[in-house]
Structure 1
């Protein structure tokens, strides 16, 4: 479909009163000012070609049900991405309250700075920087009452009932815990409820997906998995190597998540998961969230990254393991995601993770460019393609709630 400009439609924004990040302080005096990317209208809205009945059904499904993004970065980045390192070094990434208020989401698994957490280090993933990031974000959130922090399932249900949005604090890798298993408890105490094993590079727990050799889950990794199970932190293997994924499935007594990935059978890169890993995740009771970050979930049929490419991965995984084990982890943000990848390519292992067939570089993923538009368009696509209400409710929130009910304590 072609992109056309149309106004954003607020589905669930009654509690939002216009608060902007850190506005309890004085910009320019208490913290450095940056010209930020717009949260609405940065790119043209995507037209799915829905008729009036389909539009109304989409609106109803988003409005009336718990909608969860299993992986996103709902922060607002500088309009000029060349300023992003200076922006991050201030430790004050802004939350996209306005954009989130029009997203229709009930809850978002917020992965914060993660590998871009370069407050004090060029390389990221330092424990102090992660704690700094958590503290700054939660301080800001505490000064308004639209966005809340979810510490359990009841907080997500309450957000839906009260027209709020719940953020689940997450880390894409356990790298910051180093060899200190008790840091898992500390992060849990700070509100973290989901954490990855490794982010592309190997760490003390296991191998990342860009490593040439995957030694699997380490002895310490087994201890960490056991502790995360006990304390109630959901485990993610999206960026882990294949053997490390399979070892984690075997070690965990709780469902394991692949929060944001796709099928390697459709796009043969390390960033995608082979069938045996997707099956292994489902066998634990877990779910795979289909990824939409630029130039990840491509297919030969849809080589220009768009919602059509992403949904081909969705349908493949649903056929492979059953629709009850599939959801969405779009991995979007407010700003130029493609240039962000370019700036942080070394930190994030982008080139290694995307090794495979050549593809045209797109300026953004049509239909899934930012957290505001994702679930309107995902639900609309499912409506247009004849999915039942029950299946749409399951893949946009129900499957995640079921898995978390077994994981969180």
Structure 2
């Protein structure tokens, strides 16, 4: 793991407030060393130096993560979330080597006022509070343009891009997309696993496709300059989004259904349709998602089985990484929010060995150290690595963002 970025001064979330006076303080999970370091890579000295150089010098972007820290005791999770004040993991991010991260905040667990989640006022509260904290330090900075990402890289900062996993909270109000854009949101999913006013989610028994309102929303996002995500949309809805959008779309965190046959993965034909329109898929690593027959016990190797398969299917210009990690017990989060996150329906009836964490891709601090190490160990060129860890994403953003 890298040494902390020189620009990081040790700031922790809500340092400008007084714990247990301005907000309730919880005991939070470790950002570094919560689980053992990944031991699955064996790099020579030259390979290790090359991997460190690439992580340090190149623009490295996570297309999908959750960079907040969760309570050490997941029994306190609901109380913690209702407070609406989730801390950003600055310490871990300072060791990540990332240039930019698309952070999707609470999203489906945004249950400040309702256990059902996805309420518009709750999402705005979450965004506003997170931005207030970012504004009190100078390492992780809010990013809204490609120029912001490049400036972060040039000045040793980390660019934080606000995203939302679904547009459920806009209900039938298309102008709410403008409001979210004004708050700094630059990437939005169409639907989570449940259907909404825009279209179907991947858990539903039937997929009615993109609604007329969904078409309006897609066109508004194109005009605003918001990147569109179809990771959790149903297959028909996702395809119709690709066909409707005048700009390339992202599948920010997913894998191949041909490698692991669950609803949570996308079929190769759909991924190819996304790529044909210029889009990019980010490889998923949330627990028990991107497994493979060769590596059913979820690890970095499972995820890279999807990577090698999809490079063969759509080409290296259309693959990136959206690990979908967080700081804390991700499996415990899934267990606590299984109904909200539609875990059972997303996995269908496919059996898999349950793990305590994804070995090698457990949190945002370690992901790209191990991803780049794997790519170096498997003799990918510098140009190929540069594309998949950031360049492909930047190409799409140059076309989509304004």
Deviation at 1:136?
Answer: 0.5
Residue 203 of structure 2 is matched in structure 1 by 210
- Following the alignment from structure 1 to structure 2, what is the Cα–Cα distance between the partners of residues 235 and 37? 32
- Following the alignment from structure 1 to structure 2, what is the Cα–Cα distance between the partners of residues 25 and 275? 49
SS of equivalent residue, structure 1 residue 76? coil
TM-score by length of 1: 0.97
- Following the alignment from structure 2 to structure 1, what is the Cα–Cα distance between the partners of residues 138 and 305? 38
- Following the alignment from structure 1 to structure 2, what is the Cα–Cα distance between the partners of residues 273 and 219? 23
Moved more, 353-362 or 290-299: 353-362
Residue 31 of structure 1 is matched in structure 2 by 23
Residue 41 of structure 1 is matched in structure 2 by 33
- Following the alignment from structure 2 to structure 1, what is the Cα–Cα distance between the partners of residues 182 and 276? 29
Of 384, 396, 402, which aligns to 1:403? 396
- Following the alignment from structure 1 to structure 2, what is the Cα–Cα distance between the partners of residues 285 and 163? 30
Q: Name stretches of at least 5 consecutive residues in structure 2 with no aligned partner.
A: none
Check if 1:246 corresponds to 2:252.
Answer: no
SS of equivalent residue, structure 2 residue 242? helix
Deviation at 1:82?
Answer: 1.3
Deviation at 1:356?
Answer: 3.3
- Following the alignment from structure 1 to structure 2, what is the Cα–Cα distance between the partners of residues 297 and 51? 28
- Deviations along 1:165-207, one digit per CA (max 9) or x if unpaired, are 0110000000000000000011000000000000000000000
- Following the alignment from structure 1 to structure 2, what is the Cα–Cα distance between the partners of residues 330 and 259? 9
Q: What are the within-5 Å matches in structure 2 for residues 125-140 of structure 1?
A: 125-140=118-133
* Contact preservation (8 Å) 1:88, 1:117: yes
- Following the alignment from structure 2 to structure 1, what is the Cα–Cα distance between the partners of residues 119 and 245? 26
SS of equivalent residue, structure 1 residue 392? helix
Moved more, 181-190 or 353-362: 353-362
* Contact preservation (8 Å) 1:107, 1:156: yes
SS of equivalent residue, structure 2 residue 366? helix
- Following the alignment from structure 1 to structure 2, what is the Cα–Cα distance between the partners of residues 401 and 84? 35
Q: What are the within-5 Å matches in structure 2 for residues 7-406 of structure 1?
A: 8-10=1-3, 13-47=5-39, 48-406=41-399
* Contact preservation (8 Å) 1:268, 1:356: no
- Following the alignment from structure 1 to structure 2, what is the Cα–Cα distance between the partners of residues 304 and 171? 29
- Following the alignment from structure 1 to structure 2, what is the Cα–Cα distance between the partners of residues 171 and 109? 9
- Deviations along 1:255-281, one digit per CA (max 9) or x if unpaired, are 000000000001110000001110111
Deviation at 1:81?
Answer: 1.0
- Deviations along 1:57-114, one digit per CA (max 9) or x if unpaired, are 0000000010000000011000011111110111100000000000000000000000
Give me the CA root mean square deviation.
Answer: 0.6
Deviation at 1:121?
Answer: 0.5
TM-score by length of 2: 0.99
* Contact preservation (8 Å) 1:294, 1:338: yes
- Deviations along 1:347-370, one digit per CA (max 9) or x if unpaired, are 011110011320110000000000
- Following the alignment from structure 2 to structure 1, what is the Cα–Cα distance between the partners of residues 88 and 75? 19
Deviation at 1:253?
Answer: 0.2
- Deviations along 1:119-141, one digit per CA (max 9) or x if unpaired, are 00001000000000000000000
SS of equivalent residue, structure 1 residue 168? strand
- Following the alignment from structure 1 to structure 2, what is the Cα–Cα distance between the partners of residues 330 and 286? 17
Superposition misfits of 4+ residues, deviation over 3 angstroms: none
- Following the alignment from structure 2 to structure 1, what is the Cα–Cα distance between the partners of residues 140 and 240? 36
- Deviations along 1:264-315, one digit per CA (max 9) or x if unpaired, are 0011100000011101110121100000000000011101000000000011
Deviation at 1:316?
Answer: 0.7
